[in-house]
Structure 1
Amino acid sequence: MHPLLSKTTIALIVSGLAQGAAQAALFAVEPGPYLPATGGFASWYQDTHGRTLDLCLTKAVSPNIAGAPGAPAYMCLLTPNPGIFDDTKPIVFPDNFPDEAFWFTGDGSIVDVARGIDLTYVSALEAAFSGGDPKEGDQISFGRIRIRVDVPTAGTYVITHPYGVDVFKVDTPGRKAINMTRDIGIGSPKTYDGALKSDIGPFLRSLSGPYTVTTGTATEQFVGDPNVEEAFTGSPFNTNYIRIEGPNGLDLRTNVMAISGKLSTVVRPTPIVAERSTYSRKAGTSEPVAQQDVFMLAPPPPATVTLDSNSPVLKLTEADTTGHWYAQSSTNPTLPKTLDVTADNHLAIATSSPTTVHPQLTDLVVISKAEYNLTTSMLTIDASTSDETSPTVLTATIATGTGTGTPISDLIGEGAAKSLETKISPIPPARVQVTSSNGGTDIEDVVLVQ
């Protein structure tokens, strides 16, 4: 179902927009040590919605559909491979172990014979081996998005799915005219944190689940059944569907997918990620008028997220079960200011304990102009701070891939908006960063002009 490390062949991708690719929607992975029972792989991944999924290696069978003789309807995707893995025998690493296994899968399709559309969609968090066959030291993991579509007409196609939007320009229609595989996280063998940066997460789950399956004395729970296509939820963008739009008014969608994932019994704290904590203030009639804006990523309701450092304590508001939370306070902060924000998900996951993070409150810095004149070698930067009342210093540096690099100079100006014009040679900087003495920062690509 998921061939290992297949090449990406794309019919001219105009843009691959995994919306919010930096969403950090996978939160944590087992740090090790990695045991033979899981083939030397990390035993679990946790997403920002608080769910932790084990590497799915159980032979529990579906409570929803009967398997065919010799082909049980497993709740985990355990595909036999002659000479490599015999699913009728115990799973033992490396002698009888799947050459690919999964922490999560979400697969769907759209077929419209009349319109000539045949679409398959794969999302997965996969365990595999760099050499193909099970071997100690070759273990890798990655998040995969795969889109394959037969299309009858040249043109631009937009495919919206639970983990983003991808746009393709097809010049040669036909079978697999759209053929894209995006694998993120492979990295070095037995290093599993790369997949945390993939498009996968939070984990999708069936609206009919979780499913409880008892096999002998073992009772296990699953977020979905890979043998059944069902309505689902969990998209970080609230796009709980697959949709294709294209030439001649083409607009097809499906709201069902086949989901797999085994819920872990590992006890984990409530995940929470600070996305942004900024303030603004300006002069008022008697005192400054202030506004604090706090953005967090945490499990959706019934979880709660509170800004404990505010008086009174503020409850953050969540957006459409996506796990994005927001609160606004009119308290005028005394700087430097560290916030206390707590997420509590015990109503959804009884073993989940509250987690408090302490993001720094900073001003919001915006670079409105970053321009380099190739003729004069002059760099011009215009930037502003959201703090109009403090004597804020804005400092420009050349930005590098690892953060700020060579200092340039302080920007000049009396108010919140400040400017800099300075000569830099022999080459222009690719990007500049402006940092505020109140903690805010912004990075911008430099525009080159003659």
Structure 2
Amino acid sequence: MSDTGPIDPRTGYPLWYEDVTGTRLDLAWQRDDPRTPVIADLNESGTLRGIANFPGESFYVTAEAELPLGGGGQDGEVRVVLALEATFATEDVVDGEQIVFGRIRFRVRDGRPETTYTLTHPYGTVQATTDDRGRVTATEDIGLAPLDFTGALGGQIAPFLQWTSDPALPEGYIGDGATEHTITGSPFNTNYVLVEGPGAGTAGADSDPNDPGNPDKVYTDQFVVYTDQFVLQGRIATIHGAEITRAVYSQAAAGAVMVEVFARSVPGQQLGVSLGGGPETPLQGGNTPNYLSRISAGSTVPTQVTVTNRTDLVALPVTVGVTDAVAITQADYDSTNQTLTVSAISTDQSGVPALTVTGRGGLSGPVGVFALDAPPSTVTVVSAAGGTSTAIVRIVA
């Protein structure tokens, strides 16, 4: 995957994930879409930000395949799950514990005991060894830190798969979440599931795609079982949203206030910004994901700004607080005198908010000198008006 979208203020999850082809998929958490049926049942739901029965598990994309497996004392089964899943760090629906992760799961039931099986799937290969009952579940989950939605970008569930064109792909979807279907999109051109293992192909499943006329072909000294049929779910994102990446003010000594708002969305959107509930002003930009507005606020510092994507069919305003900006102009350590000197300024030259070095103390005017036998590698200065800045410490003597 290449990018993750702004946070949906309704759910606390990203509005979409994007792959390298530019395809963006949204989170299918609503229960009223028959083409995105794969969500957790009501017993695992809860209330999230006023949404009743929000699922404990929902998906941006999921592809599943099942096929029979021979070789054991009875007919066995292989199940493969490839998914980009949204859930919570605990078993309960709790705001602040949202996680999104990429999952690859390879499950064998009733195969040969203590036997290694190799799975080839659209995103690579997996090996797993069964226990004494002929069972194993091998799972790789990437991106399990709460609220760190970029972690899932390191997973393998991309580029996104989609149905092949016969029959036609449902408009606005990559699959219908219910029908077994051939797929395309594998970066390795392995748009199938192939399982190698002793006797695997004796349960009557399809054979090696390179030799379809031989159902029990020996393939690298192992029998194989194969399918190119997947149940695939995913919905093309139609709400792109907006994210405020920075909202700062500057105030001259005479009292005039300017507010700078930086925002992010997808290219080609029309974003508007409102200061403290006032009239909306367009943000400039649109050729890239970045947008900007610089607005005169008279002599009053607004407490918050709101940005809304007016291109979206469903407007989802995003509001953040406004702070000053802090610039660290000096962070020098004199090893001879064992002193750390920090200088910083605020963009508020009228209120002149107090500035503090985290863990050290306040600045006297714009400068602070601290006695230390050894310095930290960085210093952070925090303003009483909310701004913050971090700089690398320079050794000067």
TM-score (norm 1): 0.46
Tell me what 2:185 maps to. 226
SS in 1 for 2:173: strand
Asked whether the equivalents of residues 363 and 439 of structure 1 are also in contact (C-alpha less than 8 Å), the reply is yes
Measured in 2, the distance between the counterparts of 1:50 and 1:219 equals 14
Deviations 1:176-201 (A, max 9, x none): xxxxxxxxx2x4xxx78655335579
Deviations 1:333-365 (A, max 9, x none): 534611122224435xxxxx2112221111110
2:341 alignment partner, one of 380, 397, 419: 380
CA separation of 1:228 and 1:439: change in aligned 2, threshold 3 A: closer
**Cα distance, 1:446 vs structure 2:** 1.8
Asked whether the equivalents of residues 129 and 139 of structure 1 are also in contact (C-alpha less than 8 Å), the reply is yes
Tell me what 2:368 maps to. 420
Deviations 1:350-387 (A, max 9, x none): xxx21122211111101122122222220100111112
Question: What runs of 5+ residues in structure 2 fail to find an aligned partner?
Answer: 29-34, 36-60, 71-75, 86-100, 108-125, 176-182, 189-231
**Cα distance, 1:331 vs structure 2:** 1.6
Matched ranges for 1:3-402 at <5 A = 25=5, 27=7, 46-47=16-17, 51-52=25-26, 95-98=77-80, 101=82, 103=84, 126-129=102-105, 132=126, 133=128, 139-142=139-142, 185=143, 187=144, 194=148, 196-197=150-151, 199=153, 221-222=173-174, 226=185, 263-264=234-235, 271-283=241-253, 287-301=254-268, 303-309=269-275, 311-320=278-287, 322-332=288-298, 334-335=300-301, 337-347=303-313, 353-397=314-358
**Cα distance, 1:439 vs structure 2:** 1.1
Measured in 1, the distance between the counterparts of 2:387 and 2:309 equals 24
SS in 1 for 2:78: coil
Q: Please tell me whether Structure 1 or Structure 2 has the larger radius of gyration of its CA atoms.
A: 2
2:380 alignment partner, one of 408, 420, 433: 433
Asked whether the equivalents of residues 222 and 263 of structure 1 are also in contact (C-alpha less than 8 Å), the reply is yes
SS in 2 for 1:355: coil
Deviations 1:45-102 (A, max 9, x none): 8238974167xxx9xxxxxxxxxxxxxxxx9988999959xxxxxxxxx94322x625
CA separation of 1:297 and 1:130: change in aligned 2, threshold 3 A: farther
Deviations 1:104-151 (A, max 9, x none): 9xxxxxxxxxxxxxxxxxxxx842249955999864433xxxxxxxxx
Measured in 2, the distance between the counterparts of 1:24 and 1:78 equals 23
Measured in 1, the distance between the counterparts of 2:15 and 2:106 equals 20
CA separation of 1:318 and 1:130: change in aligned 2, threshold 3 A: farther
Asked whether the equivalents of residues 141 and 195 of structure 1 are also in contact (C-alpha less than 8 Å), the reply is no
SS in 2 for 1:380: strand
Measured in 2, the distance between the counterparts of 1:362 and 1:393 equals 13
Asked whether the equivalents of residues 257 and 301 of structure 2 are also in contact (C-alpha less than 8 Å), the reply is no
Measured in 1, the distance between the counterparts of 2:146 and 2:235 equals 17
Asked whether the equivalents of residues 364 and 385 of structure 1 are also in contact (C-alpha less than 8 Å), the reply is yes
Tell me what 1:443 maps to. 390
Measured in 2, the distance between the counterparts of 1:421 and 1:436 equals 17
Measured in 2, the distance between the counterparts of 1:140 and 1:326 equals 40
Asked whether the equivalents of residues 103 and 262 of structure 1 are also in contact (C-alpha less than 8 Å), the reply is no
**Cα distance, 1:295 vs structure 2:** 0.7
Tell me what 1:68 maps to. none
Measured in 2, the distance between the counterparts of 1:268 and 1:341 equals 18
Which amino acid in structure 2 is aligned with residue 430 of structure 1? S
Asked whether the equivalents of residues 300 and 323 of structure 1 are also in contact (C-alpha less than 8 Å), the reply is yes
TM-score (norm 2): 0.51
Asked whether the equivalents of residues 220 and 262 of structure 1 are also in contact (C-alpha less than 8 Å), the reply is no
Which amino acid in structure 1 is aligned with residue 364 of structure 2? I
Question: What runs of 5+ residues in structure 1 fail to find an aligned partner?
Answer: 1-17, 32-41, 59-74, 85-93, 105-124, 143-184, 230-260, 348-352, 398-405
Paired residues, what number?
Answer: 266
Tell me what 1:411 maps to. 363
CA separation of 1:194 and 1:275: change in aligned 2, threshold 3 A: closer
CA separation of 1:370 and 1:419: change in aligned 2, threshold 3 A: same
Which amino acid in structure 2 is aligned with residue 410 of structure 1? G
